[in-house]
Structure 1
Amino acid sequence: EGVALHESVGSVLHIGRMQLLITRETDPCERMREVHDNLFEAMAKDWRGGVCCRVIKDGAICVGDEVEIVDVQ
């Protein structure tokens, strides 16, 4: 929540010590229709399927880690 994924391609997502380069949008899964008839269509708006990333720096993700998106463009 509070992250504008549609504006984040090329940015770096920091989760704790991990760093991920946001490379592109990914579509919502068709299986969402199994949960609710209109869920897929609702999620398809505003990049709600999520994003694909390339790992820049690996690491464990822990509860309570800070999350930050850094615009590197």
Structure 2
Amino acid sequence: MRLVEIWFAEAGGEPMQRTDSIHAVEGGLAGDRYQTGQGYYSPFDVCEVTFVECEALAEIRERYDIDLTDGRHRRNLVTEGVDVHDDLLDARFRVGDAVFEGTRPRPPCVHVERVAEESGVMRALKQGRGGVCARVIEGGAVGEGDPVEVLESTAFDGEGLVAAIRDRVGR
């Protein structure tokens, strides 16, 4: 489980730029459009940082003959060996020196298809291939090749809560 690519854009609609390292800071990745409030959906639907699997991008290329490996997927961090939906949603996890919390799936939208300038991108990113949103819990340096380490689940545990209440009241 590791980070293989880092992408950012300084403003909404601008092409994504690849870098080998970046700093996670309060509100996102330093200089990225959503961290600075310049994202297309700012301030209404902000994902501080987005994660997508390189395996999902390979599946899109194979199944739909659409190559998004040039950053047209519009996601920030590309992972390898990580199921971002199963492993990172509702979890705290470390990448490099930063700690993130997976908050929700990031469904594709018409905007991503317009910016990619290729028909079918939105459809190709559907069905679990669109990635997830995360928020920065602890800032720090993030670099290509850094391991992705799940620290803890943040999912609501109804059974655990009921057990804790029973223990507390002695039932």
- TM-score w.r.t. the length of structure 2 is 0.36
Q: Displacement of 1:15 after TM fit?
A: 0.6
Aligned counterpart, 1:45: 127
Larger RCO (CA within 8 A; separation ≥ 6): 1
* Greater Cα radius of gyration, structure 1 or 2: 2
- TM-score w.r.t. the length of structure 1 is 0.73
Could you give the per-residue CA deviations for residues 47-72 of structure 1, whole angstroms, max 9, x where no partner exists?
A: x2221212111101123322223442
Aligned counterpart, 1:20: 100
* Structure 1: runs of 5+ lacking an equivalent: none
Could you give the per-residue CA deviations for residues 21-60 of structure 1, whole angstroms, max 9, x where no partner exists?
A: 10111112424434332221011111x2221212111101
Q: How many residues were matched structurally?
A: 72
- 1:33 maps onto 2:113 in alignment: yes
**1:6 partner SS:** helix
Amino acid at match of 1:6: H
Q: Displacement of 1:18 after TM fit?
A: 0.6
**1:61 partner SS:** strand
Aligned counterpart, 1:58: 139
CA RMSD of aligned residues (A): 2.0
Percent identity of paired positions between Structure 1 and Structure 2:
33
